[in-house]
Amino acid sequence: MLELTMAAVSSEEAGATAGMTMAEAPSEPGAALRVGRDGAVCRLVTPEDWLFVSRVHLEFLCGPDGGWQLSWLHGSQPDPSSEVRLTIGEYAQTVPYGGSVRLPRGASGEVVIQDRTAPRSVNVGFYHEV
């Protein structure tokens, strides 16, 4: 099972955090959880006017072995207006635009979508229950 929690954070509003939302999916091949502005496709939906997040920005996909990978899907623009960072414990890395990263089994951590033009972010915590 993969569990996600999401918070939209903007320091423009004195550190205000928009509602915390949650989603989960069983660790079965082909299971997917998506994060973005399109509520018809994404289980975790960001504010519609936060254009630094694509309609479908992140995808957590379960592989044939029950392991999960995180993908930053390539959007409609050639250059993104955000950056994506993955943190697991002391380990941190930038996820490349259009790239994927395998999540360690049983890991927990955070994925941050950071706006490059304003002090706001989308923080997605994850927990992979084995």
Residue 75 or residue 73, greater confidence: 73
Average pLDDT over every residue of 30-59: 95
User: How far is residue 116's CA from residue 25's CA, in Å, rounded to a whole number?
Assistant: 30
Residue 95 above 90 pLDDT? yes
Read off the pLDDT band of 8 (50, 70, 90): confident
Residue-level pLDDT at 4: 97
pTM confidence score: 0.92
Nearest CA-CA partner of 128 in 71, 76, 88, 82: 88
Cα–Cα dist 37/26, whole Å? 23
With cut-offs at 50, 70 and 90, classify the pLDDT of residue 76: confident
